[in-house]
Structure 1
């Protein structure tokens, strides 16, 4: 997918993160950029590309998102907990303060992406462009905005629901909308996107863009999160049998195989370009001294797999070797012990310029969500929920589960919870699964004590949401409509 972005669009985004303005102050630089820039299909294509570019940012899926979604969980931790890594360590240890840069980055980066989507959506309906182009651009913008809001509402709870370009004065009157309002908009955007987006793209340059299948898959995930089990089943059935698992799990993560039958949507990167369209994964995740393909690299060893996660894989599970390793080479001959993520192992063209992509939604996730939704509506020994679960397990080369192994609804629910951890490790699902399964406080309390040996205070429900960045609270200065989380 070509992600060229015009200076005009990037300038709009730059204006949004000025330290003197709210992150949800979403106006473009001038009225001219919104009312005159979007004229042709090529203009809208560049505008839509800018939305995808927002997902690539280091403030979102380029880096910071996995600090809030994966490192927060019991899957991964921070290698260096010293002074230089204190802000990341706060996220890992549940000690973050309201000025923590990772909280600010994800929040601000998300609203930059939303602002770009709104800029397209404000103009596309009235544009004199072909109907097919109009439908695709609108569908993509709605899908991407919904994806970002889905992340925001799960991380921060009530957030401002901004669905049009705003002036500075308008943005200062924004409030934190109720969670139900945010979810309602997410559902509406995805339902509409699914009717507008194509089933597939015929132009190779468009491969990887959002499709109707991706929109329905993400909508199903949203509905499962809301515990709307029957509605989720109906939507997920539109995805089932219209995609497939790759025969080999490891093949999912090779940069050359980013477009495949299983990955419904991914944030794509490409190394070696100027300006860079790569990511930080290699530099951030590999060990401090790392010898790979005959070259010595230096890494940070962040997002480091925990000992508990390593033990979570069943004997013979092929996903373990594909996902992580417990040893590496410090040089051509020296073996060193230490866990690190292998899924995104792609030698960078330069520091922080690797080309591996980040999977947002895979067919395996859809299968497990479908199994979960069916089970929650009523346990059925040997029903389709077992088949969905076992499709994932067969690919991992581990034994199928039968009714004798999972004889009731509770045991099946627990099996899905365990399977999701190892199948989707390092894909930003674990923290959200801990929350929606209502296991976050118990598991994370034990994790902090057992994994780190910390005598921590008992975690409370206040820690299930991140704080709104303090700068936002200060700018709005409205405890009634824009309060801080407890």
Structure 2
């Protein structure tokens, strides 16, 4: 069976155990082999494990574990691929805008997102009728709605129109799915996040629950959705509700320490933890680092998701974020230092190969501040720099980075403020999967990336068109439907 379709059917129909093990602090699952979604969900503990399985989907190499940062960061002018010949250049296809419809990263992100959605649907189909504590029921439902919304938000931005599946389907129903309109998908995301924000707690008290979605997670994601849709007033309203719960950490580098994954600035992050059995770590170190010598040990890294020369130049002199985000030198041996860029945000020595402990930030307070600045500026230019203004929010982020505040003299109009906000987003959120979508939202993706191809690689082809703002639907998905009228490929592929 087609791999993408197989993934969706297994989880949508419930013919496979949907509760794979996951052992993070906030995800402790017992082995429950031979269970199906139709027979498993009875107690609060069952639903807890079902929800934990959704979080487990975020850790997958198909999503935040690898494929997402290839499609979102490597695609942009932030990072590139160390070895262009590796695996027949499949990662380089993404980097150079030459990907074909059978590209494995394109397939993985699509399939991995639907695993998350199917696991969420398995919970949501049954939670309303469950005879469990109402407080727990609200939390489980809110978590499932938030996580499903996050998956759909990534899907719709990467692929455009995709099947909107909000309940467990039969095989025939799944095979007869259509690609829903983008507007339908966003409408569902908005509805679900509003509901989730009202169901989820503001915070959790138990250490084992740290990292779960909160009402602030749902509201922050909803605000980001509104900004993506350019619903500026709605974005402003909901993002302001997030502000009282979070704050900027004094030191930027402290955001990315593996030993303290949840901070006052963390709104939502994908948690990893090394040294567990089975593994709950990630492969960031081994995928992103070069061949590097640390503490008397040589580590073999693939050198992927490598910061470009352009991003290294994007930081202003004195920006404290540079040293916390990337480095341009590293030890090849005990006595040999070589030039080369690598991401430092996710630097954590692995317990074993592919077992690192850094979390991946999905939503954090600085992102919300810059989204608010953008939403306010798009509703009209203001020279004000006080708290609550576009420049005020921008400067709050810059101050933590050790940079001077911007004033109306520096940014005398709406376009100047817009450019400053996107420039700030690039360095503040570098390597956090935002740059590609920011370029699209700012209508700069095509010219910026065409220049990127020329300056970084000396390439004048391909000539980029709007078709390349979306990835192709995986070829296996197209083949299993076998109906280009009802289930067409994206233009240009």
Normalised by the shorter chain, which TM-score bucket?
over 0.9
Partner in structure 2 of residue 341 of structure 1: 343
Matched residues in 2 for 1:364 and 1:104: separation? 31
Choose the corresponding residue for 1:196, options 189, 194, 199: 199
Cα deviations across residues 305-334 of structure 1 (Å, max 9, x unaligned)?
Answer: 000000000000000000000000011111
Partner in structure 1 of residue 59 of structure 2: 56
Matched residues in 2 for 1:227 and 1:100: separation? 31
Given the alignment of the two structures, is residue 373 of structure 1 paired with residue 375 of structure 2, yes or no?
A: yes
Number of equivalences: 469
Matched residues in 2 for 1:345 and 1:380: separation? 40
Partner in structure 2 of residue 277 of structure 1: 280
TM-score (norm 2): 0.93
> What 5-or-longer segments of structure 1 have no aligned partner?
1-16
Please say if residues 62 and 68 of structure 2, whose CA atoms lie closer than 8 Å, have aligned partners that are also in contact.
yes
Partner in structure 1 of residue 225 of structure 2: 222
Choose the corresponding residue for 2:3, options 14, 19, 24: 19
Please say if residues 67 and 303 of structure 1, whose CA atoms lie closer than 8 Å, have aligned partners that are also in contact.
yes
Q: Structure 1 residue 241: deviation in Å?
A: 2.9
Matched residues in 1 for 2:183 and 2:295: separation? 50
Given the alignment of the two structures, is residue 113 of structure 1 paired with residue 116 of structure 2, yes or no?
A: yes
Task: Give runs of aligned pairs for residues 113-192 of structure 1, distance below 5 A.
Answer: 113-192=116-195
Please say if residues 55 and 113 of structure 1, whose CA atoms lie closer than 8 Å, have aligned partners that are also in contact.
yes
Matched residues in 2 for 1:277 and 1:306: separation? 30
Given the alignment of the two structures, is residue 412 of structure 1 paired with residue 417 of structure 2, yes or no?
A: yes
Please say if residues 103 and 469 of structure 1, whose CA atoms lie closer than 8 Å, have aligned partners that are also in contact.
yes
Task: Give runs of aligned pairs for residues 38-49 of structure 1, distance below 5 A.
Answer: 38-49=41-52
Please give the secondary structure, in 2, of the residue aligned with 1:62. Answer: coil
Partner in structure 1 of residue 30 of structure 2: none
Cα deviations across residues 91-128 of structure 1 (Å, max 9, x unaligned)?
Answer: 00000000000000000011011100000000100001
Q: Structure 1 residue 294: deviation in Å?
A: 2.7
Please say if residues 98 and 469 of structure 1, whose CA atoms lie closer than 8 Å, have aligned partners that are also in contact.
yes
Given the alignment of the two structures, is residue 470 of structure 1 paired with residue 475 of structure 2, yes or no?
A: yes
Matched residues in 1 for 2:305 and 2:209: separation? 31
Given the alignment of the two structures, is residue 403 of structure 1 paired with residue 408 of structure 2, yes or no?
A: yes
Partner in structure 1 of residue 327 of structure 2: 325
Please give the secondary structure, in 1, of the residue aligned with 2:245. Answer: coil
Cα deviations across residues 227-270 of structure 1 (Å, max 9, x unaligned)?
Answer: 00000000001012321000000000001121100010000001
Please say if residues 367 and 429 of structure 2, whose CA atoms lie closer than 8 Å, have aligned partners that are also in contact.
yes
Matched residues in 2 for 1:484 and 1:117: separation? 27
Q: Structure 1 residue 386: deviation in Å?
A: 1.0
Please say if residues 4 and 476 of structure 2, whose CA atoms lie closer than 8 Å, have aligned partners that are also in contact.
no
Residues 451-460 or 230-239, more deviating = 451-460
Partner in structure 2 of residue 354 of structure 1: 356
Matched residues in 1 for 2:4 and 2:239: separation? 44
Choose the corresponding residue for 1:264, options 264, 267, 270: 267
Matched residues in 2 for 1:60 and 1:273: separation? 20
Please give the secondary structure, in 2, of the residue aligned with 1:410. Answer: helix
Please give the secondary structure, in 2, of the residue aligned with 1:327. Answer: strand
Matched residues in 1 for 2:280 and 2:393: separation? 36
Please say if residues 22 and 172 of structure 1, whose CA atoms lie closer than 8 Å, have aligned partners that are also in contact.
no
Choose the corresponding residue for 1:79, options 77, 82, 95: 82
Please say if residues 154 and 432 of structure 1, whose CA atoms lie closer than 8 Å, have aligned partners that are also in contact.
yes
Q: Structure 1 residue 34: deviation in Å?
A: 2.6
Q: Structure 1 residue 361: deviation in Å?
A: 0.4
Please say if residues 22 and 472 of structure 1, whose CA atoms lie closer than 8 Å, have aligned partners that are also in contact.
no
Distance verdict in 2 for CA 1:115–1:375, change over 3 Å: same
Partner in structure 1 of residue 453 of structure 2: 448
Partner in structure 2 of residue 29 of structure 1: 15
Q: Structure 1 residue 479: deviation in Å?
A: 1.4
Partner in structure 2 of residue 316 of structure 1: 318
Given the alignment of the two structures, is residue 206 of structure 1 paired with residue 209 of structure 2, yes or no?
A: yes
Please give the secondary structure, in 2, of the residue aligned with 1:337. Answer: strand
Alpha-carbon RMSD across the aligned residues, in angstroms, is 1.3
Partner in structure 1 of residue 27 of structure 2: none
Q: Structure 1 residue 481: deviation in Å?
A: 2.1
